[in-house]
Amino acid sequence: MAQRIIFPKKSEVALEDFTPPSVGAGEVAVKTLASLISIGTESTVLHQRYAEESHFADMFSFPQLQTGNQAVGIIERVGDGVEGIKEGDRVFFRKAHASHWAAQASECALIPSGMDISTAIWCGFAKIAFRAAQTVPFKLGEETLVVGAGPVGQMAVRWALAAGMKRVVLCDLSEKRLSLAPDRVETRLGSVKDQYGDLLALSGGEGFSSIIDSTGNPDVFKDALSLAAVFGKVILLGDTGFPAKQRLTSDAMTKGVSIIATHEQLDRDGWSQPAVDALYFELAQAGSIDARGLITHTFAPSQYKEAYDIACGRREEAVGVMFDWDLNNL
């Protein structure tokens, strides 16, 4: 029997049996091997931490059956008209936490032979962070400050290093999360406000030409503005549930700061999910992006309570919280 993780009501998680849809033309049947919790988004949705005027209120309600959006699986069947994917192939796909799926073949990315699941499963977060790499854009010899060492921030600093940026600084409240950053990343423990003097000194006293806010915390916005250089850019990459609380300060005007919001769903210049997947896989195979060690916790789907206790209540300990569907012997 197929199973899936749902949110029946606010702050409640359950594992239920369900019947997956049949495979149609252009689709594939996928058995999930692992799925990754989107810590920020799923915490926001599960505990309804968003304002009524936010897009979260428009997109989500209870019972919520779509509880995640990144997984890896193995192809069990292919529908009519499917080419380039066959039974037995491993793929990355953007679906919720469930043991079985019928998915569009065009939305599945073939995982290179020999690549481990714990690397391949980061494609979704890689795409989110890639939006920052596009928007800044990340360039050889430049510098950036990334605020937030969660899943998105971890991917952002890896794109920055892969692009050849000379200085990449990562700031977070969690020592555990900071410890998972690549060696070439300069880390600072604490809030941007508390670390203001040190961070300003790192930028040579001029502020950073680009700052990536990956936190989703509305209070971070004003502090990011304070560290932006003249004509610098502040990129809103974290999706807050309370956008009205993100307040401008005089730094925006006096320094001519560009404030740019970017969202993973806004594909541009041909950089769709499959295109970013292919680039991520290429760089991961070459060693230019290293996601090893980012899976901090692994649970069987039946351990959903423990998984969400970590993801929502002890986020300082977690980056990659993964469900291993094989542990349920499905």
Task: Let me know whether 245 and 318 are in one domain.
Answer: no
Q: Is the preceding peptide bond at 63 cis, omega within 30 degrees of 0?
A: yes
Structure tokens at 85: 């994917």
- Residue 139 amino acid letter: K
Inside any domain, residue 202 = yes
Inside any domain, residue 101 = yes
Inside any domain, residue 50 = yes
Task: Let me know whether 98 and 149 are in one domain.
Answer: no
Q: How far apart are CA 63 and CA 16, in angstroms?
A: 12
Task: Let me know whether 228 and 243 are in one domain.
Answer: yes
The last residue of a domain, from among 217, 238, 261: 261
Q: How far apart are CA 257 and CA 104, in angstroms?
A: 41
The 3-state secondary structure of the chain reads CEEEEEECCCCCCEEEEECCCCCCCCEEEEEEEEEECCHHHHHHHHCCCCCCCCHHHHHCCCCECCCCCCEEEEEEEECCCCCCCCCCCEEEECCCCECEEEEEHHHCEECCCCCCHHHHCCHHHHHHHHHHHHHCCCCCCCEEEEECCCHHHHHHHHHHHHCCCCEEEEEECCHHHHCCCCCCCEEEECCCCCCHHHHHHHCCCCCEEEEEECCCCCCHHHHHHHCEEEEEEEEECCCCCCHHHCCCCHHHHHCCCEEEECCCCCCCCCCCHHHHHHHHHHHHHHCCCCCCCCEEEEECHHHHHHHHHHHHHCHHHCCEEEEEHHHHCC
| Angle between helix 151-162 and helix 39-46 axes, rounded to 10 deg | 160
pLDDT of residue 210: 97
pLDDT of residue 329: 52
Residue 281 main-chain phi, psi, to 5 deg = -60, -40
Inside any domain, residue 284 = no
- Averaged pLDDT, groups of 10, the chain, 330 residues long: 95 95 94 96 94 89 91 96 95 96 94 95 95 94 97 97 97 97 96 95 95 95 96 93 93 96 86 92 96 96 97 94 82
Task: Let me know whether 165 and 190 are in one domain.
Answer: yes
Left if phi > 0, otherwise alpha if psi is -120 to 50, otherwise beta: which for 199? alpha
Task: Let me know whether 158 and 105 are in one domain.
Answer: no
106: CATH: 3.90.180.10
Inside any domain, residue 117 = yes
Single pTM value for the model: 0.94
Cβ atoms of 131 and 263 within 8 Å: the answer is yes
Inside any domain, residue 105 = yes
pLDDT of residue 268: 86
pLDDT of residue 330: 41
Under DSSP, the state recorded for 148 is -
Task: Let me know whether 247 and 308 are in one domain.
Answer: no
Task: Let me know whether 206 and 242 are in one domain.
Answer: yes
Task: Let me know whether 137 and 240 are in one domain.
Answer: yes
Inside any domain, residue 57 = yes
Residue 144 main-chain phi, psi, to 5 deg = -155, 155
Task: Let me know whether 108 and 193 are in one domain.
Answer: no
Task: Let me know whether 133 and 224 are in one domain.
Answer: yes
Cβ atoms of 6 and 63 within 8 Å: the answer is yes
* pLDDT tens by residue, 186-221: 999 999 999 999 999 999 999 999 999 999 999 999
Residue indicated by tokens 């252009």: 26
Q: Report the DSSP beta bridge partners of residue 73.
A: 32, 91
Q: How many structural domains does the chain have? A: 2
Task: Let me know whether 158 and 253 are in one domain.
Answer: yes
Task: Let me know whether 62 and 157 are in one domain.
Answer: no
Using DSSP bridges, classify how beta strands 295-299 and 208-213 pair: parallel, antiparallel or unpaired.
unpaired
- Residue 143 amino acid letter: E
Domain span at residue 207? 125-261
Inside any domain, residue 278 = no
246: CATH: 3.40.50.720
19: helix, strand or coil: coil
Left if phi > 0, otherwise alpha if psi is -120 to 50, otherwise beta: which for 135? alpha
